[in-house]
Structure formats: C-alpha cells, structure tokens
Amino acid sequence: MTVSVKKTMMSDKEEIISVDYEIFGRVQGVFFRKYTQAEGKKLGLVGRVQNTEAGTVQGQLQGPSTKVKLMQEWLKTTGSPKSQIVKAEFKNERKIEHLDHKHFKIVRS
C-alpha cells in the first residue's frame, strides 16, 4: 500500500495556473503592494502587483494551483495591516505550461 501511495504522489504533478486580480477598498497608501509581493514570494509564486488610477490594486499570480488559491484567499481577506478590502475580483484563470514572470514584482507607474 505504501508503494502505490508513493507512486501516485510522484506521478501527480500539480497544475501551474495564471490568474489576474483586482482588489477594491482602501488598498493604496497602506503598503498593500509591498505586503502582496512578500506574501507571493513566501508562497513561491511569481507575478506582479500595481496601483491603478481608479484607486484599486491589480496584478497577476502564477504558480502551483494550491499556492495560487492560498494567495487568492489572502488577497480577499488579509492584505496589508492597514488595508480595508471591500472586494476581490479574479479573472482569466487558466492552466499554463510555462511561467511568464521570473519574480513577483511591484510595477510602479
């Protein structure tokens, strides 16, 4: 039984996904981008985060699907200590073969 479990675990390669996000609320001027970058790096994700002219924060996440899901939950519920998240939107989720980013970067306008 142990052998078959080990074999199954080794053959199950986790999907790599990409998802775009936009976070609404008090998310600018509260170090949201810095904390997002740190959390993404901690989870081993790559992508980007940037402020928008509309007062939101947007970006893209890429990495193993379980880690991306953890980051999505963090973006919806945690953010930076002084942020107040009203809504988080996630779009264009798709399976990818290769990462488009090398790091998790803050894009400054």
CATH class of 31-107: alpha beta
Q: Of residues 26, 33, 92, 108, which has the active-site annotation?
A: 33
Q: Measured in Å, how far apart are the chain's first and last C-alpha atoms?
A: 55
Token duo for residue 106: 């803050």
By percentage, how much of the chain surpasses pLDDT 90?
86
Catalytic residue among 26, 48, 51, 108: 51
The pTM of this model reads 0.86
Domain positions in the chain: 31-107
| Cα Rg of the chain (Å, integer) | 16
d(CA 53, CA 107): 13
Structure confidence by residue, pLDDT tens digits, 32-81 = 999 999 999 999 999 999 999 999 999 999 999 999 999 999 999 999 99
The answer to whether residue 33 is catalytic is yes
Active site residue 51: yes
